[in-house]
Amino acid sequence: MKIKSIILAAGKGTRMKSDTPKVLHKIMDKTLLGYILDSVKNIASESFVIVGHCAEEVEKYVKDNYSSAKTVLQTPQLGTGHAVSMVCPYLEDFDGLVIILNGDIPLIREETLKKFVEYHNGLNSDLTIMSAIFDDPEKLGRIIREKDNSLKCIVEAKDATPEQLAVKEINAGIYCLNWPKLKTAFSELKNDNAQGEYYLTDIIGWAKSKALKVNAYVLENNEEIYGINSRKHLAQAAKMMNNRKMDELMDNGVTIVDPSCTWISQDTEIGADTIIYPSTYLEGKNKIGKNCKIGPFAHFRGGVEIADNVKIGNFVEVKKSRIDSNTNAGHLSYIGDSELGSHVNIGAGTITANFNPITNVKSKTVLKDNVKIGSNAVLVAPVTIEEGANVAAGAVITKDIKAWALAITRAPLKVIENWIKH
């Protein structure tokens, strides 16, 4: 079955109080929209992102990062149903399923969406919405079911009877549509409401009026539909996501000494028997091997690949680098845009000077196997240090160093006696 997705990302996010569009705010260096697009990329062959507020910024982000997604402009913004209708011309001849999601729910899992689609197909549904059960639904719209457990309707809390208000099942805002049967709905929705908008929820009534099969799938973990509408929500979602990652890693044999002060991105892979020490922050996409020791106070900025038995110690920052097995960078160092071989030792205070502020070019540092770097060395990229070479403490390296050589750039020691005499 062919599947495509529509992601609603046109809103301003007023409560974020930001010049940045809501869906481009980040958790662990990935945007909210990026989490959604990643959750559907292995399910949907193509995704359509509905843009509106700051459309050019969102369009650029999608174009630069997701080849299987395209943006569709919604202007003016006349509701969620109207947003989906903007995609109809692109799906005129599409014969498959369409999943519709909001762009501000970064915790939704790919596995959950797969189960959602399986449920839809298993019941031979024409329309399935995702629902969730809350102990206190408050002002959320209630899911009302038929006697056969299919979906009857969604009733807004303000319009609900006392009996309906007692229902704890609510609309989670994710939809799966048999597109050939539902596409006509978006040209027939009405906007006879106080806001004068076309609501996506109205497709339920439309489908029921056409005697189509409508069902609701109950979400297993309500955290997955946690929506971001404020900075507080963003911080809370980050904590939920991080806790989930901690549990996943520990279940797979990673030791995390103190999960309460450790942050690890969803896109970081870590091998068994690796130890992550407190106050470590690993953002972006990284891959760490087995039996490594990371931290405390280590910082990975993404694009880091580390083999087995590597030690990255306290106050070491690593970015866009590959480090081979049995290599150590114990403390107070920066490794950026680098390739380190095996059995390399990085002395305290070593810096890979990878950025030229005049040309704005970043260059690469290469350290071959068994290289030893003394403390407080500066390696000015582009530079290659061949196998077994040693760099003396305090050296500034601006040229390639041959294998098994010793590189020293050090002024002669002068001792002036009786400089201060008491």
The full DSSP string for 338-355 is EEE-TT-EE-TT-EEE-E
The pair phi, psi for residue 149, each rounded to 5°, is: 80, 0
pLDDT at 411: 86
| pLDDT of 284 over the 70 cut | yes
Averaged pLDDT of the chain: 96
Phi, psi of 252 (to 5 degrees): -105, 20
Could you tell me the two tokens for 317?
Answer: 């920052």
- Catalytic one of 53, 82, 299, 331: 331
Instruction: Copy the structure tokens of residue 267.
Output: 């896109």
| Per-residue pLDDT at 386 exceeds 90 | yes
Show Cβ contacts of residue 226 under 8 Å, excluding neighbours closer than 6 positions. 105, 107, 233, 236, 237, 240
User: Are the CB atoms for 99 and 3 separated by under 8 Å?
Assistant: yes
Angle value at C-alpha 132, between 237 and 2, nearest 5 degrees: 90
pLDDT tens-digit series, residues 100-147: 999 999 999 999 999 999 999 999 999 999 999 999 988 888 999 999
Annotated catalytic residue 53: no
In this predicted structure, the answer to whether residue 158 has a pLDDT above a threshold of 90 is: no
Cite the beta strand spans of 206-310 per DSSP E. 214-218, 255-256, 263-264, 268-270, 275-276, 281-282, 286-288, 293-294, 299-300, 304-306
Token pair 């992601």 in the structure block, residue: 7
Whether the domain at 3-225 and the domain at 231-407 fall into the same CATH topology: no
Q: Higher model confidence: residue 259 or residue 159?
A: 259
Return the pLDDT at 39.
98
Which residue is it, tokens 């959750």? 39
pLDDT per position as a tens digit, 40-96: 999 999 999 999 999 999 999 999 999 999 999 999 999 999 999 999 999 999 999
Q: Which DSSP helix (H) or strand (E) runs through 36?
A: helix 32-40
Q: What is the mean pLDDT of residues 219-226?
A: 97
Mean pLDDT of 240-256: 98
pTM: 0.93
Q: What is each CA distance from 173 to 209, 210, 215, in whole angstroms?
A: 21, 22, 13
Q: What is the DSSP letter of 379?
A: E
pLDDT, residue 422, reads 63
Share above pLDDT 90 across residues of the chain, in percent, rounded to a whole number: 91
Q: Confidence class of residue 156 from pLDDT cuts 50, 70 and 90? A: confident
Does domain 231-407 sit in CATH 1.20.1250.20? no
Domain ranges of the chain: 3-225, 231-407
Mean pLDDT of all residues in 376-401: 97
CATH superfamily of 3-225: Spore Coat Polysaccharide Biosynthesis Protein SpsA; Chain A (3.90.550.10)
pLDDT grade for 324, boundaries at 50, 70 and 90 = very high
pLDDT score, position 192: 84
- Residue 157: its pLDDT value, please? 84
Q: What pLDDT, on the 0 to 100 scale, is given for residue 150?
A: 96
Q: Is the pLDDT of residue 23 over 90?
A: yes
